[in-house]
Amino acid sequence: MSRIRFIEITLLVALVAALTFFGYIGYEAIPKPTPTPIPRLTFDGALALEQVDAQMAFGPRPTGSEANLRLGDAITQTLQALGWQTTIQDFTYRDTPARNILAHRAVVSAAGPTPGPTRSSARRPVVLLGAHYDTRLYADNDPDVSRRDEPVPGANDGASGVAVLLELARSLDVAAIGDDIWLAFFDAEDNGRINGWEFIAGSRFMAQNLPMPTKPEVVIVVDMIGDADQQIYLERNSDEKYQQQLWQIAARLGFETVFIPQPKWTMVDDHIPFKEAGIPAVDIIDFDYPYWHTTQDTTDKLSGDSLERVGRVLEVWLEETR
């Protein structure tokens, strides 16, 4: 290469560098790497099972107990850390203080977040997902009669439903859903027939004192859905239209062997007060659980896969069909 040619190239490189430095050649001229898309969160059964473990660490959690109070605080803090607004609904049942916990997520748009539940709920249909977080005071169904005065640990009957809701709180793409999503955690559900108590006191109080400005279009309750030997039949007190939607999604996801499209149980569960108030309601429950109301209702009977199947059905139903 001639000396003159070398000098010309050197000057050209220097000129380009100077123009870039002074802004004459912008960053548009520099090839940009293709941004890596952020993967959409999906329901994770392993994380849901961790939520069961976290609840079980409090011990039995009957209404009015210190463990119940501490768990309610932990649920509230978890929801708030995930960006959900929370409301506490205090009430008293048979001289025992109790509280329902309600969570709502503001929708973020280009104009910013919708300020508060009132505006958002007024514009969009409300879907309420619910589970009870209290546990039974006595294991009166235990095959060992000597243990029937012990409390129920409540891994499946209590913690499993709460775990599904908390994992949905993490994974749901709320902005992509056409509905206004509320999560309800009911207290005072599980002490029926003990000391004059009735079942489902917390959900009944909420149904009679709805805290959202718009009546829910539908209520979906999840209860006892973590059993490793999962068998979820159509519950006879549930709304058939919404049952069909959910069970069809389960079949599409390959879960037809556990979401069994046959009616079996007729349950008095947290969906009943809403049904009585004229709101369509569905109970997703696996009542074929041999450890119900026994001291053996412990985490080793549960499976993250079972929790994930229920969570994925609800996730797809909300994000793709609503």
Q: Is the confidence at residue 321, as pLDDT, over 90?
A: no
Residue 34 pLDDT level (bands cut at 50, 70, 90): low
Q: Is the confidence at residue 248, as pLDDT, over 90?
A: yes
Residue 68 pLDDT level (bands cut at 50, 70, 90): very high
What pLDDT score was predicted for residue 322?
86
Residue 261 pLDDT level (bands cut at 50, 70, 90): very high
Q: Among the residues of the chain, which ranges form H helices?
A: 3-21, 45-56, 66-81, 117-123, 161-171, 201-208, 240-252, 272-276, 304-316
CA distances from 80 to 65, 124, 268 (A): 23, 22, 31
Q: Is the confidence at residue 303, as pLDDT, over 90?
A: yes
b/e per residue 50-69 (b: at least 16 CB within 10 A): ebbebbbebbbbbbbbebbb
What is the Cα–Cα distance from 177 to 181, expressed in whole angstroms?
8
What's CA 42's distance to the chain center, in Å?
Answer: 12
Q: 136 CB contacts (<8 Å, ≥6 apart)?
A: 62, 151, 152, 154, 157, 190, 191, 194, 293
What pLDDT score was predicted for residue 108?
54
Q: Are 274 and 207 in contact (CB under 8 A)?
A: yes
What pLDDT score was predicted for residue 165?
98
Average pLDDT over residues 172-191: 95
| Cβ neighbours around 243 below 10 Å, total | 20
CA dihedral over 242, 246, 247, 252, signed as positive or negative: positive
pLDDT tens column, 102-126:
999 976 544 444 444 443 445 689 9
Using alpha carbons only, how large is the chain's radius of gyration in Å?
A: 26
Q: 35 CB contacts (<8 Å, ≥6 apart)?
A: none
What pLDDT score was predicted for residue 9?
41
Name residue, tokens 């041999």.
290
pLDDT above 90: percentage of residues in the chain: 79
Name residue, tokens 């768990």.
71
Q: How many CA atoms lie within 13 A of 33 on its CB side?
A: 3
Q: Is the confidence at residue 22, as pLDDT, over 60?
A: no
CA dihedral over 11, 17, 20, 22, signed as positive or negative: negative
Q: Which of 218, 251, 222 minimizes the C-alpha distance to 235?
A: 222
Mean pLDDT, all residues of the chain? 88
Q: Are 278 and 128 in contact (CB under 8 A)?
A: no
What pLDDT score was predicted for residue 213?
83
pLDDT tens column, 188-225:
999 999 999 999 999 999 999 999 989 999 999 999 99
- pTM assigned to the model: 0.85
